[in-house]
Amino acid sequence: MTEPATDRRAALKERSRQAIVRAAAELMDETGGTAFTVDELAERADVSRRTVFNHFASLEDVFAEVCAEVLGELIEKLAVPIDAAATGGPTTEPGPAMLDELAEVVRSTDLVTPMAYLTRTLGGTDAGGPWHANLLTRALSQVGEGLTAVLRRRHPGADPLDLQLLVSAFTGGVLVCHAHWWERTGAADDDASRAVWAELLDRLIHQLRTGFASTR
Amino acid sequence: MTEPATDRRAALKERSRQAIVRAAAELMDETGGTAFTVDELAERADVSRRTVFNHFASLEDVFAEVCAEVLGELIEKLAVPIDAAATGGPTTEPGPAMLDELAEVVRSTDLVTPMAYLTRTLGGTDAGGPWHANLLTRALSQVGEGLTAVLRRRHPGADPLDLQLLVSAFTGGVLVCHAHWWERTGAADDDASRAVWAELLDRLIHQLRTGFASTR
DNA sequence: TGCACTCAGTGCATCGTTGCACTTAGTGTA
DNA sequence: TACACTAAGTGCAACGATGCACTGAGTGCA
């Protein structure tokens, strides 16, 4: 993918920022959490410690950006089949119920790997703390916005309220499922964990179907 | 080789400078001369055009630096066997005549490759012009200083005047040999060219021996 | 409980790069 | 011969990174 036409200053700035985010993701993966210092992050990113704070207001903001990128990739994964179904352009013709479509896409996408990563790195040392809770809220909001945008592209004729209610109920349900999944699997990234997740997801979808089956 | 302890600013400065020199050496090699623009050099070095002039006063200075590095490596090559002969520390004991030692070292070092490179890139388009002549003068001076330093390490008891006269006569002789070599071989980098160079070198050494054979 | 330490975060000045407009010299063409 | 163009080189201001001293919060220990 060619870089957008930009001047060298902007390119340098973006490179520094990406280096910090990438370094944080690596350290989070290696340490299974967020227990590293700004000095370690700066060294790994090959920038000065002041530069980290030039780009981010706090370490928490860095973690949030790592999450945002993981979740952004997740939403892109979910968007691909939904957008593909729209090949030939979006239509207002009645199609499958949005819930069924969303359910099928979510079922066929591996959510366990990113969830395991985020749960391990953010939930490991201080799960439920106000700091991590804030990150989780931001993450959920981002997922919700991303899904809403994708479904809107697919169903431009859909009532916006219906659509947003669906997404809100869905992401809220995913949060509940996540807590159960974590409790039962310890956020492992393996087949047993995937089986539990699939079961919880089926429960959620079943519960939501009765309320949104007529949405077209 | 570990980088010297330095701060990040100094490291960046040095990286930029080295990138410019390296890019110039590549372009000189690829184009067989110096007929490229500052814009091309800056692009290859991945710096801005202003940065080139932050580090060097002119394109000519960049070329001079490329030469200096090639010649510096050359002098290092010559220095290795001379310094190795001094293993156990320098001595004022009578040793082989300096000329014989210098001759042996020069004979056993491949001078044709760097000479071919420098002749091709600097002599190709405007040989003998005042601009290139200036580069040649600087190059010769650098070689002379380098050789003088090496021989001084090896023969600390030698009379400085004798030593400098030897080096001056030698480098002057090399310049003459180079002109003949160029005329006869076209500055090719091959075995035939090496044979001609060896012959010319023997002539030079033979001519110099009668004047310096007693130097110890 | 007071003290020492570590670390996140901050303010400010400096450095090196960069963007851009400019001048000047050299060159080619009508 | 005048004009247009290219390219080297320059001055100046702005940007982004960096160095460094500093404050405050949290923690551990005597």
- Which H, E and C letters describe chain B, residue by residue? CCCCCCCHHHHHHHHHHHHHHHHHHHHHHHHCCCCCCHHHHHHHHCCCHHHHHHHCCCHHHHHHHHHHHHHHHHHHHHHHHHHHHCCCCCCCCCCCCHHHHHHHHHHHCCCHHHHHHHHHHHHCCCCCCHHHHHHHHHHHHHHHHHHHHHHHHHCCCCCHHHHHHHHHHHHHHHHHHHHHHHHHHCCCCCHHHHHHHHHHHHHHHHHHHHHHCCCC
Mean pLDDT value across residues A116-130: 65
Instruction: Say if residue A114 is in the same domain as residue A185.
Output: yes
Domain that holds residue A153: 58-212
Q: What is the mean pLDDT of residues B117-128?
A: 65
- Mean pLDDT across the stretch A80-104? 70
Strand C lies under 7 A from the Cβ of residue A161: no
Do B68 and B45 fall within a single domain? no
- The CB density around residue A21, as the number of other CB atoms within 10 Å, is 19
Q: Is the pLDDT of residue B216 over 60?
A: no
Q: How distant is C1' of C20 from CA of B13, in Å?
A: 22
Residue A124 reports pLDDT greater than 70: no
Q: When comparing pLDDT for A97 and B168, which is higher?
A: B168
B71 and B1 within one domain: no
Per-residue model confidence (pLDDT) at position A5:
59
Q: Is A2 helix (H, G, I), strand (E, B) or coil?
A: coil
Element containing residue A177 per DSSP (H, E): helix A160-185
* Eight-class DSSP state of A111: -
Compute the average pLDDT of residues B45-66. Answer: 94
Highest mean pLDDT among A84-88, A138-142, A204-208, A210-214: A204-208
Please tell me whether residues B85 and B188 are part of one structural domain. yes
Do B78 and B44 fall within a single domain?
no
Same domain? B140 vs B76: yes
Q: How far: B136 CA to D13 C1' (Å)? A: 39
CB-based contact A163:A155 (threshold 8 Å): yes
Spacing of A80 CA from C29 C1' in Å: 58
Q: Residue A177: pLDDT above 60? A: yes
Lowest-confidence segment of A1-10, B23-32, B53-62, B103-112 by average pLDDT = A1-10
Strand C nucleotides in reach of protein CB atoms, 7 A cut-off: 7-12, 15-20
Q: Which residue is nearest to nucleotide D17 (CA to C1')?
A: A51
Question: What is the pLDDT confidence band of residue B3, given thresholds at 50, 70 and 90?
Answer: very low
pLDDT of the residue at A10: 95
Let me know if A166 is exposed, middle or buried by CB neighbors in 10 A (0-12, 13-18, 19+).
buried
Residues B73-109 have pLDDT tens digits of 888 888 888 777 766 555 555 556 778 888 888 888 8
| Closest protein CA to C1' of nucleotide C17, residue | B51
Chain-centre distance for alpha carbon B72:
5
Nucleotide closest in space to B47 (CA vs C1'): C17
Q: How many CA atoms lie within 13 A of B56 on its CB side?
A: 22
Q: Domain count for chain B, please give it.
A: 2
Predicted pLDDT of residue B2: 41
Same domain, B73 and B134: yes
Evaluate if the CB of B16 falls below 7 Å from strand C: yes
Q: Answer with the residue of higher pLDDT: B27 or B72.
A: B27
d(CA A135, CA B147): 66
**B49, closest nucleotide (Cα–C1'):** C18
Nucleotide nearest the Cα atom of A52 (by C1'): D17
Q: Are residues B74 and B171 in the same domain?
A: yes
Greatest alpha-carbon pair distance for chain A in Å reads: 56
What is the per-residue pLDDT for B125? 47
Indicate left, alpha or beta for A188 from its phi (over 0: left) and psi (-120 to 50: alpha). beta
Stretch A86-106: mean pLDDT, rounded? 69
Q: Give yes or no for a contact between A28 and A69, defined as CB atoms under 8 angstroms apart.
A: no
| pLDDT at residue number A167 | 85
Cβ of A210 less than 7 A from strand C? no
- Residues 49-68, chain B, CB closer than 7 Å to nucleic strand C: 49-51, 54-55
**CB proximity A59–strand C (7 Å threshold):** yes
> Can you give the pLDDT at residue A2?
41
**pLDDT at site A1:** 35
The amino acid at A190 = D
| pLDDT of amino acid A45 | 97
Distance B59 CA to D8 C1' (A): 8
d(CA A119, CA B8): 36
Contact flag, residue A50 CB and nucleic strand C, below 7 A: yes
3-state secondary structure of A92: coil
Rounded Cα distance, B17 and B7, in Å: 16
Record the tokens describing residue B54, joined without a space.
């932050």
- Element (H or E) spanning A49, and its range? helix A49-55
Q: In the structure, how far is the CA atom of residue B141 from the C1' atom of nucleotide C19, in angstroms?
A: 39
**B150 to A48, A116, A215: CA distances (angstroms):** 41, 63, 88
The nucleotide minimizing the C1' distance to residue B59's CA is D8
Residue-averaged pLDDT of chain A: 82
| B43 and B73 belong to one structural domain | no
pLDDT band at A3 (very low <50, low <70, confident <90, very high): very low
**Banded model confidence at residue A36, pLDDT cuts 50, 70, 90:** very high
pLDDT value of residue B46: 96
Do A29 and A82 have their domain in common? no
CATH number at residue A47: 1.10.10.60
User: Which element (helix H / strand E) includes A114?
Assistant: helix A112-123
How far in angstroms lies nucleotide D16's C1' from the CA of residue A9? 7
The residue whose CA lies nearest the C1' of nucleotide C6 is A37
A41 and A130 share a domain?
A: no
- Which position has the higher pLDDT, B143 or A13? A13
Strand D nucleotides with an atom less than 7 Å from a protein beta carbon:
7-12, 15-20
Structure tokens at B45: 């070095």
Segment A82-89 shows an average pLDDT of: 69
What's the Å distance between residue A68 CA and nucleotide D18 C1'? Answer: 28
CATH number where B112 lies: 1.10.357
Using alpha carbons, select from A132, A113, A101 the residue that is nearest to residue A205.
Answer: A101
Distance, CA of A37 to C1' of C6, in Å:
10
pLDDT at residue number A57:
94
- Closest to A89 measured CA to CA, from A148, A155, A146: A155
Looking at this predicted complex, what is its ipTM? 0.75
**What type of residue sits at position B81?**
P
For the CA of A19 and the C1' of D22, the distance in angstroms is: 27
Which structure tokens are listed for B20?
């410019």
Question: Does A106 share its domain with A190?
Answer: yes
Residues around strand D, C-beta < 7 Å: A 9-10, 12-13, 15-17, 47-51, 54-55; B 7-9, 12, 36-39, 49-50, 53, 57-60
Average confidence score pLDDT of chain B? 82
pLDDT at B133: 65
Angle A38-45/A8-31 helices, nearest 10 degrees?
120
Specify whether the CB–CB gap between A87 and A154 falls below 8 A.
no
Q: Is any atom of nucleic acid chain C found less than 7 Å from the CB of residue A3?
A: no
Distance measured from the CA of protein residue A38 to the C1' of nucleotide C9, in angstroms:
10
